[in-house]
């Protein structure tokens, strides 16, 4: 069966305050909205594209958002690839590791093609 993939742009759920500081509460609310929309999609893998995201999240912010994924387990039950620019790979990898520690099948990538290949090959 071919894999079905839903692409989510980070700008769809990451929000910053006018000062440029991450707005975690708004980001969490938007993550809930993304999860609600994705929950109705059966048998979809997810690609979260953070290449256009502005600013940098702290390790604490990344852990916080990864911890919130537990509330949306059904939406992220299958594979999730996080696509990021090379200079932010360590942070994306940390986020994926935090999510994996919560039981999610998530990996970080810097190349679109590699992320898509991972999502398509051997879907969960």
pLDDT in tens, 27-66: 777 677 767 766 666 678 888 888 877 666 778 888 888 8
pTM of the complete model: 0.78
Question: pLDDT tens for residues 14-24?
Answer: 555 666 666 67
pLDDT tier at 119, thresholds 50, 70, 90: very high
| Of the candidate ranges 26-40, 67-81, 109-123, the one whose mean pLDDT is the lowest | 26-40
pLDDT tier at 86, thresholds 50, 70, 90: very high
Starting at the edge strand that comes first in sequence, how are the strands of the sheet with 44-49 ordered? 4-9, 44-49, 79-83, 105-109
Higher pLDDT, 73 or 31: 73
Res 118: pLDDT = 94
Buried b (16+ CB within 10 A) or exposed e, 47-64: bbbbeebeeebeeebbbb
Res 35: pLDDT = 74
């Amino acid at each position: 069966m071919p894999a079905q993939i839903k692409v989510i742009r980070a700008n769809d759920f990451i929000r910053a305050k006018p000062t440029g500081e991450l707005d975690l509460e708004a980001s969490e609310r938007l993550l809930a909205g993304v999860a609600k929309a994705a929950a109705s999609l059966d048998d979809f893998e997810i690609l979260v594209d953070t290449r256009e995201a502005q600013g940098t999240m702290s390790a604490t912010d990344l852990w916080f958002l990864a911890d919130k994924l537990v509330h949306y387990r059904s939406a992220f039950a299958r594979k999730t690839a996080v696509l990021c620019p090379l200079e932010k790979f360590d942070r994306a990898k940390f986020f994926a590791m935090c999510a994996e520690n919560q039981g999610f099948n998530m990996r970080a990538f810097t190349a679109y093609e590699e992320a898509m290949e991972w999502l398509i090959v051997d879907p969960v």
